[in-house]
Amino acid sequence: MTNQLKHVSTLPLQFNYRFNDELPADIETDNHLRIVAAACFSYVNPKAVKAPKLVAYSKEVATNIGLSDRHCESDIFVDVFSGNTLLKGMQPYAQCYGGHQFGHWAGQLGDGRAINLGEIINDAGEHHLLQLKGAGPTPYSRNADGLAVLRSSVREFICSEAMYHLGVPTTRALSLVLTGEEVIRDMFYDGNPKPEQGAIVCRSAPSFLRFGSYEIFAAQGDLDTLRRLVDYTIKTDFPHLGKPSIEVYISWFNEVCELTVKMVVHWMRVGFVHGVMNTDNMSILGLTIDYGPYGWLESYDPNWTPNTTDASNKRYRYSHQAQIAQWNLVQLANALYPLIEDTEPLKRCINDFATNYAAQLETMRAAKLGLVAYRESDNSLIANLHKILQLVETDMTLFYRGLADLKVYQQDQTDAQLMAPLAQAYYVDAQLTTENKTQICQWLREYQQRVRLDGITDESRRKAMNTVNPKYVFRNYLAQLATDKAEQGDFSLVKELLEVLRHPYDEQPDKAHFSIKRPDWARQRAGCSMLSCSS
């Protein structure tokens, strides 16, 4: 970094505070733990840190808010996005919300370690709310310190951007900064706390409102604030629906259901498991939000959850994400009912969620298989596919990527030739028994026959499949490797992964080592298989 880059006196950011201007604020201004009533937010400043240091930044997110490389590599950028400096006009705040956690109402939650710096409106008229995660305590910290550690911050920073480039609706990340301070964390809640390096991620989204933002006021019986928040949401993020009214409230809820369907279908497509789908972690815009104990479905197991807290009940397992999303929408509908006072339209929206999800899931599954369209007769093909994926420990990402290379018009292939494109997808060779290989090949021939009905060429099918089936996903072991290096002061792998994952569907031959299946050493290592909410 040159001296020229370091000396930028300020950043060209103009902040907008329509949220603060139009919604009620907490009447108390001291930063102490409390129950906040009749307020959507509390003003609070980030906690100053000792020695902030830039790890990495997203050039695309920076460009979206009008910042150049020169700005992002300056001292003032690090000071602002570590929380050490407030730019002129900044009015940081933390949002108030509640939520259902693991199926139970948890009461007031709120931004316990997230502090919103303000909203940028760029030249294209797009809104980008900037939020620091890990910037210190707020009135909603619930006896926690409001801080975050490097391992969880690396995961959130890279995954936010990786999901965006996969085409999954998501919040994004501008920067990752070390604080120069230690944070004590008990990673697996087993009585073994230890110091870890502190870090702060700057997240970006049009809005960080979530289902729990509305639930809290319904639970408190504060219908005036609830109505004001709903009206504000429609006005700012759903203006196409028209002036708020009961009919518009219903239309808005229906659109939230549709956005949520789209998000979950994308999760299922790329094998993403959120891990903690509490209602306070459900974006009102249908964005993937709050990257905690998430994971990628490597070995195909529909019942897998990456969250150690959820290991027994598996409430948030891969195959259950749509049902949980619908359950969460029911809680949102319950919160909105006092404004509508009619259950029938809300029930229709909830029922439509299931119908829409089933239809979009079929379309998505057809696309993953390179089929022109889903046919009713494909139900057995899909059912049999899910059976063979579980016969042998099979990497989901590599299986679909390899399947694209299958020659469907060569009907005289031996079993070995047929399975050759899938070789890299299997974890345990000993599981490839004669019986299992026979069943796999039986499905592959069934698949060949089905594709031939569409009459498309192998090449066109391969290209189509490789636009929806990624080669590169942000596997947990990659996150751990990047964290290990970053903890030693080497940020090169963080930056390299950030770049590789900007092109998840491209071959990138010189980066192919990032596409391999989980290595054996990562099978049971902490942070590579199961994760906790400790961050």
Residues annotated as catalytic are 280
239's CB contacts (< 8 A; 6+ apart) are none
CA pair distance 170, 161, nearest whole angstrom:
8
- Give the per-residue SS3 of 125-163: CCEEEEEEECECCCCCCCCCCCECEHHHHHHHHHHHHHH
Among residues 397, 400, 401, 436, the alpha carbon closest in space to that of 415 is found at 436
> Residue 98, SS3?
strand
Among residues 215, 254, 249, 207, the alpha carbon closest in space to that of 231 is found at 249
CA pair distance 135, 92, nearest whole angstrom:
11
Q: Is 140 in contact with 109 (CB distance < 8 Å)?
A: yes
Q: Which residues are bridge partners to 493 per DSSP?
A: none
> Residue 503, SS3?
coil
> Residue 191, SS3?
coil
CA pair distance 132, 114, nearest whole angstrom:
5
Among residues 217, 262, 499, 222, the alpha carbon closest in space to that of 360 is found at 262
DSSP state of 106: E
Q: Is 166 in contact with 470 (CB distance < 8 Å)?
A: yes
**CA–CA–CA angle 280, 281, 286 (5° rounding):** 115
User: Which whole-number Å values give the CA distances from 59 to 130, 181, 320, 499, in the listed order?
Assistant: 15, 26, 35, 10
Burial of 512 (0-12, 13-18, 19+ CB in 10 A): exposed
Among residues 214, 13, 26, 251, the alpha carbon closest in space to that of 121 is found at 13
Among residues 214, 233, 132, the alpha carbon closest in space to that of 177 is found at 132
